[in-house]
Amino acid sequence: MRTQTIGITLFLLALSISCAHSPKEKDATEDQLPNIVLLMGDDHGWDEVGYNGHPFVQTPVLDEMAASGLRLDRFYSGHPTCSPTRGSFLTGRHPNRYGIFSPNWSLRPEEITIAHIMKKAGYSTAHFGKWHVGPVKKESPTSPGAMGFDEWLSHDNFFEMDPVLSRNGEAPQKFEGEGSEVIIDETIKFIQASNSQDQPFLAVVWFGSPHEPYSGLPEDLAHYENLPDSLAIKKVRLTSNETGERVSRPLRDVLQERYAEITAMDRAIGTLRTFLRENNLEENTLVMYCGDNGTPPSAARTGLTRREQKGSLYEGGILVPAVLEWPAVIKEPASTPVLSYTSDMLPTLAELADQPLPERPLDGISLVPFFREPEKERTEPLFFWQFEPGTVFSETPEPYIDPELQEGTTPLAKIMDGKYTRTFRNYQYQEINESDFSGERVMMRGTYKLIVEGKSPNKHGFELYDIQKDPGESENLADAMPEMVQQMNTDLHNWQESVLNSLTGADYENN
């Protein structure tokens, strides 16, 4: 650990010295900027990795990353569903600030993303895979290109085998192959091109796996042929690959396919790591993997469990696997219990690239200090909030973006609203009302977690858990610690007020 700390300190000292040089001298040291690859699984919960003790899932590559790099043991998705989490990942801001309340709601064009920031630092930027914060077509004001990416091969939502993807916003085309493998192959091509230009790169790679409906290659399915017979008794509902409609199937069959997808995704990550190593890029490339929300109902929580699942602000809905490698800095394996979440990505990357933060409220902080001191405590809280748009907006709300520009183009297996493509939405919000503060919401500070409007409240409507001692959230401490509850609830309400002010568009007035 001491070697790691010294190495990181020297690296950051060198970086600070280079940033203090004249522009000419800084140009000469730009190759010291780290390359960045940010990987995200789709519906991949905390328990579904080997290194967290899952009884069936095989993830040898993620296990190796966890064993050799920095394991983030208390890393959370910004929301218990995908689109909002992805918005927080891109912007460093809670998704309610700009109207991504649930899946298929979009960003706003005025948002500043990690791609905008890294481009200013001289990075080439690309997005591969699932986007889901607006359409990927080139005319969309919230496409990857509009949000700062130089190039993209992306899907409006999730994808399966032989994915249909849009390259740089053009008409979608089919790519033969296993979905994770396809986008990693494209990522490698982008890295090769950036490296040939001697340019640092930011690659954001968002897999379609292991989101349902599931499918797997024969060699991956074979790993899970002997799942317990007891899993065949229960049935779960999920999308049919054949019809796009909901069907009921035996859990064992479903899990065989789901786990095969996870293993294929894991193998694709291994392909990327091998490429980086063989091309002398491994040392100064930061590679991070995380999930976008907790395990979904179709997976039935067969591993080490946390309370609830995708869609809930209990641990099972927002605690996700997260590992990070950067050999130039993280020289020895470490794990950190620090609270962290997807909103921390923008401040972290801005610090690494020596770029100023956007002049607007951010909800994340830089995690760079925790690279140096994994046991350091975080003083800033984490906030989560399931906004209730149905109680806030009228039946005919005013669109924030032209509805035609919100129509997706990339088809997927799942039918929604009678079609195989997706329609996004974002609405104007004019005035804050006290009733708008409702919805399940959470504040986390240290080891304590306050839940308001949850499922197990005391008579005053609160739940308080010590997550370190009670990760299953079974012992409500709210009655025993009323002063802490009162203070945390006040802080939570003040934060909500800031969020609603952002939702009015006030953050954009001076930018």
Total-model pTM: 0.93
Query: What's the number of domains the chain is made of?
Result: 2
Q: pLDDT tens digits for 216-244?
A: 999 999 999 999 999 999 999 999 999 99
The dihedral region occupied by 354, where left means phi > 0, alpha psi between -120 and 50, and beta the remainder, is left
* pLDDT confidence of residue 300: 79
Q: Is residue 22 part of a domain?
A: no
Q: Note whether 281 and 238 are same-domain residues.
A: yes
Residues in a beta bridge with 72: 336
20 pLDDT above the threshold of 70: no
Q: pLDDT tens digits for 90-113?
A: 999 999 999 999 999 999 999 999
User: CATH number of the domain that 368 lies in?
Assistant: 3.40.720.10
Q: Note whether 340 and 254 are same-domain residues.
A: yes
pLDDT band of residue 511 (cuts 50, 70, 90) is low
Q: Note whether 368 and 390 are same-domain residues.
A: no
Q: Note whether 342 and 403 are same-domain residues.
A: no
Domain boundary among 380, 412, 443: 380
Question: What phi and psi values does residue 65 have, to the nearest 5 degrees?
Answer: -60, -40
What is the spatial distance between Cα 237 and Cα 230, in angstroms, rounded to a whole number? 17
Residues in a beta bridge with 449: 444, 465
What is the spatial distance between Cα 401 and Cα 390, in angstroms, rounded to a whole number? 19
Q: Is residue 13 part of a domain?
A: no
Q: Is residue 29 part of a domain?
A: no
What is the spatial distance between Cα 226 and Cα 84, in angstroms, rounded to a whole number? 36
Q: pLDDT tens digits for 52-87?
A: 999 999 999 999 999 999 999 999 999 999 999 999
What is the spatial distance between Cα 120 and Cα 100, in angstroms, rounded to a whole number? 26
What's the domain range around 48? 39-380
Task: Return the closest-CA partner of residue 121 out of 363, 361, 356.
Answer: 356
- State the DSSP code for 378: P
* pLDDT confidence of residue 510: 75
Q: Is residue 362 part of a domain?
A: yes
Q: Note whether 242 and 266 are same-domain residues.
A: yes
Q: Note whether 43 and 71 are same-domain residues.
A: yes
Q: Note whether 143 and 228 are same-domain residues.
A: yes
Q: Note whether 395 and 488 are same-domain residues.
A: yes
Task: Return the closest-CA partner of residue 116 out of 40, 204, 30.
Answer: 204
Q: pLDDT tens digits for 168-195?
A: 999 999 999 999 999 999 999 999 999 9
What is the spatial distance between Cα 475 and Cα 333, in angstroms, rounded to a whole number? 33
CA dihedral in degrees (188, 191, 197, 200; nearest 10)? -170
Q: Note whether 440 and 355 are same-domain residues.
A: no
Q: Note whether 172 and 319 are same-domain residues.
A: yes
Question: What phi and psi values does residue 237 have, to the nearest 5 degrees?
Answer: -100, 140
Q: Note whether 252 and 158 are same-domain residues.
A: yes
Mean pLDDT of 435-445: 97
Q: pLDDT tens digits for 322-367?
A: 999 999 999 999 999 999 999 999 999 999 999 999 999 999 999 9
Q: Is residue 9 part of a domain?
A: no
* pLDDT confidence of residue 476: 98
Average pLDDT over the chain, rounded to an integer: 93
